[in-house]
A = this chain, B = another copy of it.
Amino acid sequence: MPRTAETASFKFNHTMLRIKDPKPSLHFYTEILGMTLVEKKEYDSFTLYFLCFDHGDNVTAETRFGREGILELTHNHGTESDPDFKGYASGNSEPGRGFGHIALTVDDVDKACERFESLGVKFQKRPTDGKMRRIAFILDPDGYWVEILKGYFPS
């Protein structure tokens, strides 16, 4: 149940990450992770990309405000070709530590990771690395960590 009547309508709609270059990022989030690009909003100096996993609800630019699990990618124009742009901090190293990661649940972590491997995705932690054998961390094109863990699939 919602905790309070005043917050009963609240939803955790989206998470926003800045990206250097939309080409590799959109490839990563759509072709590799399987998200759908729901809306692209172009402004003078930046472009926003809204993505989510569409599980048959056919999310649109309007209905994306009615659900959770949206990813917003912000591209500040020019970073993709600026030799002085140093890249964005992933949040997992100093300085800038703070933001941790986004996480995907999947039905089969090993199978998902084999596919990521075959697609040339970089790993921060393979399922076989370290103690936690049931999870993995892959890296998106900007170096943000994407956790891969098993979801809950009631029989």
Contact = CB atoms under 8 A, between A and B. Distances in A.
B97 A89 contact: yes
B71 A18 contact: no
A81 interface: no
Contacts of A150: 65
Given A18-B98, A152-B63, A55 B13 contact: no
A54 interface: yes
B151 A98 contact: no
A24 B115 CA distance: 41
Interface string A18-59: 100000000000110111100000000000000011111010
Contacts of A100: 15-18, 72, 74
A68 interface: yes
Nearest to A142: B98
Total identical chains: 2
B91 A99 contact: yes
Interface centre among A56, A96, A107 (most CB of B within 10 A): A96
A107 B12 contact: no
A15 B13 contact: no
Contacts of A62: 152
Interface in A115-155: 115, 142, 144, 147, 149-154
